[in-house]
């Protein structure tokens, strides 16, 4: 059985039910908005975050309408943030397909994101659980904080590993933590489950973003050309490592530009990518991913059924082994 099958097996019926529920929400009485939501529904990925909600909830209790509503709220907030990111970054592709802002325009993309934010609020309210409402509102705050912090650090030239980890916690890991917390709350789990599963979510999210960042150092087919992060002023962990450790003289003018908040040109981006790969930046990142993978696995409660434990191990292994 492959990793995705192992992940989905314990909650295969719940995934079917959730997808039907989620798709039923992506509708509007306004024709243009409905067209945008229909287009968007064909671009949504593997639903890894809702699946995490379902896995955690079912491993310790029951999956019910509250669980589906919480999972839908998280996915809607995540998708809305991507729509807005694509407008900000002027991206023309998302998961290998034209982005919504390309298919329609920036106005429609921003407003579709706003629509999803509103729907997320509605789904959150349906749980009638103040703990779920609080967890999702905190996550909704963390996402833009991460994006703005990333811009601030670029402008001030404050590139280092500590700041990088803060940014990717806000931008990505906070989503996985929220998934874990909502699952525990809707399944009436105890405080120990909450702590352990939230730690699992944090480490899974950090692994997810670091793996995603590595893709930028290689040619790929996901609509994200090599070096696109650096063109936007985002300096990720492989480059941060060599900027900190390497004595290569080619890096000195790059360090000076970055410290002054100046974007790199194409030649400098090519040089930084090449050095990051040759002098251990990617290897360092992959080793840290494996470290967090082990922490995630050690965070899984020991008393949940084996099929869920195996699914959660497969989940983190899928995150770090995926090729897009």
Domain boundaries, the chain: 3-321
Please give the structure tokens belonging to residue 65.
Answer: 């309408």
Is pLDDT larger for residue 291 or for residue 89?
291
pLDDT at 224 over 70: no
Choice among 84-93, 107-116, 131-140 with the minimum mean pLDDT: 84-93
- Average pLDDT of the residues in 205-217: 95
Give the N- to C-terminal CA distance of the chain in Å, as an integer.
Answer: 20
Per-residue pLDDT at 201: 98
Mean pLDDT score of the chain:
93
- Average pLDDT of the residues in 166-171: 96
- Average pLDDT of the residues in 172-192: 97
Report pTM. Answer: 0.93
Q: 222 with 213: CB under 8 angstroms? A: no
DSSP letter (8 states) at residue 98: E
Q: 313 with 52: CB under 8 angstroms? A: no
Per-residue pLDDT at 1: 72
Q: Predicted confidence band at 221 (pLDDT cuts at 50, 70, 90)?
A: low
pLDDT at 84 over 80: yes
Per-residue pLDDT at 211: 96
On whether the 3-321 domain is CATH 3.40.50.300, my answer is no
- Average pLDDT of the residues in 303-307: 96
pLDDT at 210 over 50: yes
Choice among 31-40, 65-74, 88-97, 172-181 with the minimum mean pLDDT: 88-97
Distance between CA atoms of 220 and 240, rounded to whole angstroms?
A: 22
Q: Predicted confidence band at 223 (pLDDT cuts at 50, 70, 90)?
A: very low
Q: Tell which residue, 222, 214, 216, has the closest CA to residue 92.
A: 222
pLDDT at 237 over 80: yes
């Amino acid at each position: 059985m492959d990793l995705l099958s192992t992940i989905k097996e314990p909650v295969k019926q719940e995934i079917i039910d959730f997808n039907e529920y989620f798709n039923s929400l992506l509708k509007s009485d306004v024709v243009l908005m409905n067209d945008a939501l229909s287009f968007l529904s064909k671009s949504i990925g593997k639903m890894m975050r809702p699946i995490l909600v379902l896995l955690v909830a079912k491993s310790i209790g029951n999956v019910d309408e509250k669980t589906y509503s919480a999972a839908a709220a998280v996915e809607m907030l995540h998708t809305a943030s991507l729509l807005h990111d694509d407008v900000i970054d002027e991206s023309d592709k998302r998961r290998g397909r034209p982005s919504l802002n390309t298919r329609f325009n920036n106005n429609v993309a921003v407003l579709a994101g706003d629509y999803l934010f509103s729907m997320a609020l509605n789904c959150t309210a349906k749980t009638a659980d103040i703990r779920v409402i609080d967890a999702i509102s905190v996550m909704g705050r963390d996402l833009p904080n991460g994006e703005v912090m990333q811009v601030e650090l670029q402008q001030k030239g404050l590139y280092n590993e500590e700041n990088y980890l803060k940014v990717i916690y806000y931008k990505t890991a906070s989503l996985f933590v929220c998934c874990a917390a909502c699952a525990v709350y809707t399944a009436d789990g105890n405080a120990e489950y909450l702590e352990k599963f939230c730690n699992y979510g944090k480490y899974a999210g950090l692994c997810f973003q670091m793996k995603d960042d590595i893709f930028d150092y290689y040619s790929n087919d996901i609509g994200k050309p090599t070096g696109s992060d650096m063109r936007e002023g985002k300096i990720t962990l492989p480059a941060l490592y060599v900027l900190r450790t390497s004595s290569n003289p080619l890096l000195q003018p790059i360090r000076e530009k970055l410290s002054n908040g100046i974007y790199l040109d194409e030649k400098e981006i090519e040089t930084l990518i090449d050095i990051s790969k040759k002098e251990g930046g990617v290897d360092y990142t992959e080793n840290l991913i494996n470290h967090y993978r082990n922490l995630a696995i050690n965070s899984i409660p020991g008393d949940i059924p084996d099929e869920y434990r195996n699914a959660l191990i497969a989940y983190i292994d899928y995150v770090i082994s995926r090729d897009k």
